[in-house]
Amino acid sequence: MLPKLQLLKAQICAAFVAGAMVSMAGALWAAASQEYLVSQAGRKFTPGELVINRAETIQILNDDGDLLHHVFIESRQMNFDSGDQTPGSRTPITFPIAGDFTVLCAIHPKMKLFVHVR
């Protein structure tokens, strides 16, 4: 009877450790995949400035109900052009290299988003 009890304890312990490892891996993945959501509404970006790590992605959401937007980046390190963004659309931008970038709207030239990539 004692060996069966020890086997049961070992199985419970192994299941607990496996569950803890899966939970920890999920937490690490969530921390590594930080989501940055930037709203376009009222002819401005909110927030207007971000600090992110290299290879991270920001999502630009057109929150204006009736306005088109068109984000772009032109720099020596990186170029990006979203094309026209309809209301409600999301546009991902991944920053593969470190640097300071200004995201602009081709339709509303006063809109500026500053992205600092570490």
Assign 34 a pLDDT band (cuts: 50, 70, 90): confident
pLDDT tens digits along 1-15: 556 656 556 555 444
Q: Tell me, what's the pLDDT at 60?
A: 98
Nearest-angstrom CA–CA distance, 68 and 40: 10
pLDDT digit string, tens, across residues 14-25: 444 444 444 444
* Pairing label, strands 49-52, 79-81: unpaired
Domain boundaries in the chain?
1-33, 36-117
- Looking at the structure, give the CATH architecture of the domain made up of residues 36-117: Sandwich (2.60)
